[in-house]
Structure 1
Amino acid sequence: MKAIDLFCGCGGMSAGLRDAGFNLLAGVDIEPKYIRTFTENFPESRSICADVSSIDILDLLEQFNLKQGELDLIAGGPPCQGFSKNVPRSRRAIDSDNNKLVNAFLDQCEKALPRWILMENVAEMRNGFDQYYTQAVVERLEAAGYKVIHGVHNAADFGVPQRRRRAFFMARRDGIQPIEPRPTHSKEELVDLFCETKSHITVWDAISDLRSLEHGEDAETDTYVSPPQNEYQRLIRNGCTHTFNHIARRLKPLQLQRIQSLEPGQGIKDLPPELRPKGGYSGAYGRLTKDMIMPTITRWVFHPGSGRWGHPKDYRLITIREAARLHGFKDCFKFVGSYNDQAGQIGNAVPPLLAKIMGEAFLTTNSHPSEVASTRLVKGEFLET
């Protein structure tokens, strides 16, 4: 199955699709720093640093001896800043340049007419602006001959140790109705007539086999401190014998004092008066606990004042490798660039494990929709479609 990833970033979506069995022909992104990481991890694919709206998709297909309609999948996650609730309301607008990139993605899909389309965005994109963009996406794809479904999915429900809600649009032009993937994980293990789910993956499930570090300590190519402790660690190691990007950011003296004054689970409101900043995010300077699910990782994961990034055991922030583990990247995936660049690459990426399941959903054509509905009913919730 041949695929092209538009707005590929560092390659989160691509990594998942590759694991699902797709042959990634090319990744396109305008950010050179992200393309460097994509190139490092996808040497077999074409890396294209360009504005998605400026490329000639038919010319690109021709380079792979493909014509219009012969590509299997176009995937992509157009930038989301125009929708994200992390952006001040005053900077969210229906005609934001970032929002218009959704149209650029659709333009390329309409020209290439792949069999399948997978688009990801922040959850707010689906309902924002009175569902203006959702309606536009569905109308354009249906007019091009696609059957379309869309829904909001939490990465934690699909084996990623992170609460991350994202909207996905799935479209098929092969006459088959797309089918939403079934959640594989839940708060508690569940086995019944219709489905089986495992318990959510916790922070410590994900990172307990990585070396303990002091802030500022470097374990870039370190070995693991133990054999895999669980199924998730075995999956995420993927045959690797050592780690990449396991470096603890050096904190400023005041930042370190704040982290050292907190117990796991505590945050800015628990700081001593003399160390407490005048204001900040509710999760600022927060420390994780071993048994919690990671909150949504953002591109600010390098800064202690921007979220709950404190390690549950060590007095430091989580490393890039730990953030990658908590995002569903396998250990063989290597990030390049400055520490801040790498943090941005992870925060803006689609979790690969979630992308894998979405990709596999296109390959599942023998499930009846009633089976999916039954699963939702047993779990006591219905995903919106």
Structure 2
Amino acid sequence: MAEVFAGVGSVAQGFARAAGFEVAYLNDIDEYARRTYQANYGKTVQYDTCHVGSVSGQTIKQAADGRPIAGLLGCPPCQGWSAAGQRAADDPRNLLLGDFFRLVAEVKPHFFVMENVPSVADRSELAAALAECAPDYRTWHGVLNAASYGLPQTRQRTLVIGYHEDTGVQPTPPPPTHGGRRRLWDYRAERLVKPSTDVLDSLLGAAPRLGRPKSERYSMRPYYPDDMERLQNLVTVGEAIADLEPDFDGKPSSYAKRLAGADHPTHNHHAWGHGAAMVKRMALVAEGCRPPSEATNNRRYYSQAYARLHRRGLARTITTNFHNPGCGRFLHYRLHRSITVREAARLQGFRDDFVFIDHPGWQERLVGNAFPPLWAEVIARHVRNELEAVLAA
């Protein structure tokens, strides 16, 4: 198995842990990502730090040393299409989508999995790429939400799954595993609500589709069964990070236990250096709420800026600037600070024994750019189950 745009290898390692795949090759242009990966997993896997345009299918095959490449994974950065970016049509990073599908054609794996920002699902570039590989691959694509698969974060991403025509299998989306009946904090309504199809979009922070009517969103409702109460309860922020507080005297949640190492984590868990004036303004924001005008010096910000998390709610998307409370809903639900690198890593589904190295700013960027490892594990098990007969051959 190989992964390009690998970052810290969260997808590849998720497939390795959950489905038993062996990682043969990784690529990314970010040297700090490679150093972090190797600090955690060693240097046995070939990890090339170069532009993906210089990577060929032959490069990947040679790294596998004659073994077949079962799957190709990739999360090409397409900031030019992101709702959080400038959406510049001429952003050169948009072309990286084509490099991923070029490698699919050259490697010809049994399957491929690609992840990207939600708006990519509606792009003509993706439609053209899928049409070009249609003779050889059967594909499915759609926008899914991490919270529906056991993450305490409403991260929305386009997922593309392709199976080689020779497998005879049509890919399907992984079914949601989490919904439940327990009430959660709704940030839009600022109150506790019971999960249902009526409030699901609001709970999951469903984003509007670019260029579409405001009422049209990237919704998870079509993927849920009518009786979502039978699913596991959605995982909350409190369940994910409460045990990291120094005065915590309760029992860690099953989610926290799943990620916890042998010792209580101290690495990557240091408060950011907020100034006294900022801390004073943070104290004005109630749990789970948007800031009052006096907390923002009477300035108007978009809805998530300077907002506080709720221990009984879901985190919004962890970005590469979560240290800055003005960049999103990143205020700790109780403490007057932004979430730490370790807390963000918990919300992203990283195990506590995964260490982010070097400068805190680089750590923050790698955490925010990563695909949630636990979500990758869900996808890996789904792909393995659908291709069980093919992969066992």
TM-score, length-scaled by structure 1: 0.83
- Which moved further from structure 2: 43-52 or 96-105? 43-52
2:119 to 120, 124, 129: 124
User: RMSD value over aligned CA atoms?
Assistant: 2.4
1:310 to 331, 336, 351: 331
Give CA deviations for 1:228-269 in whole Å, capped at 9, x if unaligned.
52211111115555342111111022211211222212333x
| 1:87 paired to 2:50 | no
1:19 maps to: 17
Give CA deviations for 1:340-382 in whole Å, capped at 9, x if unaligned.
2111111111111111111111111389xxxxxxxxxxxxxxx
Q: Distance in 2 between matches of 1:304 and 1:103?
A: 35
- Give the direction of change, closer, same or farther, for the CA distance of 1:194–1:84 in structure 2 (3 Å limit): closer
Q: Which amino acid aligns with 1:97?
A: P
Give CA deviations for 1:128-175 in whole Å, capped at 9, x if unaligned.
xxx3023112112213x1111111110000000000111111111122
Shift of 1:227: 7.4
Structure 1 gap segments, 5+ residues each: 214-224, 368-385
**Residues 233-248 of structure 1: pairs in structure 2 closer than 5 A:** 233-237=256-260, 239=262, 241-248=264-271
- Give the direction of change, closer, same or farther, for the CA distance of 1:240–1:121 in structure 2 (3 Å limit): farther
**Residues 218-297 of structure 1: pairs in structure 2 closer than 5 A:** 229-237=252-260, 239=262, 241-268=264-291, 270-272=292-294, 276=297, 278-297=299-318
1:222 maps to: none
TM-score, length-scaled by structure 2: 0.81
Q: Which amino acid aligns with 2:24?
A: L
Shift of 1:84: 0.6
1:56 maps to: 56
Shift of 1:181: 1.0
Matched pairs, number = 343
1:339 maps to: 360
Q: Distance in 2 between matches of 1:351 and 1:30?
A: 20
| 1:114 paired to 2:148 | no
**Residues 96-175 of structure 1: pairs in structure 2 closer than 5 A:** 96-127=91-122, 131-143=123-135, 145-173=136-164, 174-175=167-168
**Contact 1:302 1:339 (8 Å CA) reproduced:** no
1:5 maps to: 3
Q: Which amino acid aligns with 1:356?
A: E
Structure 2 gap segments, 5+ residues each: 183-194, 196-224, 389-393
**Residues 315-326 of structure 1: pairs in structure 2 closer than 5 A:** 315-326=336-347
**Contact 2:180 2:228 (8 Å CA) reproduced:** no
Shift of 1:192: 8.9
- Give the direction of change, closer, same or farther, for the CA distance of 1:227–1:38 in structure 2 (3 Å limit): farther
1:362 maps to: 383
Tell me the SS of whatever aligns to 1:118. Answer: strand
2:231 maps to: 197
Q: Distance in 2 between matches of 1:366 and 1:15?
A: 19
Q: Which amino acid aligns with 1:63?
A: A
